[in-house]
Amino acid sequence: VSGVFVPSVMGIALVTFVVWLLLGRTVGYALARGISVLVISCPCALGLATPVAIMVGSGMGAKNGILFKTAVSLEETGKTEIVALDKTGTITEGKPSVQTIKLLDKNIGENKMLAYAAAAEETSTHPLAVAILNEVKERGLEIPNHTENKVIVARGIETEVGDSIIRVGSKKFMEENGISTDNSHDEVKVILGRGEILIYVAKDDKLIGLIGVTDPPRENIKRTINRLRGQGIDEIVLLTGDLEQQAQTIASRMSIDSYESELLPEDKARNILALQSRGSNVIMIGDGINDAPALSYANIGVALGSTRTDVAMEAADITITKDDPLLVPEVIGLSKKTVKTIKENFAMAIGINSFALVLGATGILPAIYSSVIHNMSTILVVGNSLKLLKYKLKN
């Protein structure tokens, strides 16, 4: 706007000066009219229309635990049409606990199998790893000595205990390492039937046990999804690395429009690009390392909750520091309110200045009063932006 407005006003001031000279007025009078035009239209109000509103909006966000990385992220969030959600730590609490343990090798006891699993998960901060480590701690078990843990992203973890290789992770992880899961079908059905997250444990090339973990949905996640709909979100999608049955269960329970399961980090990113290819603005909400590519590719990435990783925060445009999903729809509401305020500021600045410009150019308004109106429009824009301080985020 300034790029067009400023040269136009300079031209109008020059034309005003020339016209009054042609009408036979003195150079001083004509110059006063031209100066009056410049004083009125000096774009202070235009220059403040956006940054003051952004500053106040960002400040209100920070006060409520919402950190915007850039001004663009605050402006663009309100244009969201599709919300993509991770499951573990985003829809769920991210504080899972072990519920079921199934032994598949009679020569290895339950505690020993858990100790092997804990050895592989010892250095991991993933919520499922924490669940296993907490169970071992509660039982007072000792984690055996092991080599450095090797993480296979979105698959599992492996380590060496003595002469044996211990692998803990998904069914795909087992199959990719030539470990048969045929002897576990009945137990798998039982665990998945309860809606638990399934973890496979293998020693060398043999499956030795299954661990079922529960991770309950966040207390306010259903209300969050309802409020997102109220903000005009057309579609809500679940993107998870969990098995299809687990994804289907949570999607049905939360009334989510669609889901994609058993996704690798790059698969989540591809799903985001596919949604964007439809011409939609997409928000991705996640907390883990697996979510980082998707957070980066989305129009707006949001790192949510206490389980968020540094990688997720770095990839995201917005970080919500509080463990409250209800702040997600409030981010969209705050963005819309801020952009509305910016548009109001532009309308007031251009409207008042344009009206006063005509009065100044025609000689009705002296230069001194032009300066008064100019400053009044600037104060009005700042005051309108400060109204955002009264914006209340719902809790």
Query: Which residues are designated catalytic?
Result: 86
Q: How many residues does the chain have?
A: 395
Q: How far is CA 156 from CA 96, 117, 170, 269, 283, in A?
A: 17, 11, 6, 20, 27
Tell me the C-alpha distance between 289 and 125, whole Å: 10
Strand partners, 101: 211
**How far apart are alpha carbons 286 and 165 in whole angstroms?**
32
**Side-chain half-sphere CA neighbours of 315 within 13 A:** 26
Name all contacts of 147-155 with Cβ < 8 Å and 24+ positions apart: 149/120, 149/121, 149/122, 149/123, 149/124, 151/124, 153/264, 153/265, 153/289, 153/290, 154/241, 154/263, 154/264, 154/265, 154/290
Distance of alpha carbon 262 from its chain centroid, rounded? Answer: 21
Distance between CA atoms of residues 220 and 242, nearest Å: 22
391: left (phi over 0), alpha (psi -120 to 50) or beta: beta
- Element containing residue 103 per DSSP (H, E): strand 97-103
Assess contact for 178 and 195: CB atoms under 8 A: no
Cα distance from N-terminal residue to C-terminal residue, the chain: 37
What single DSSP character describes residue 156? E
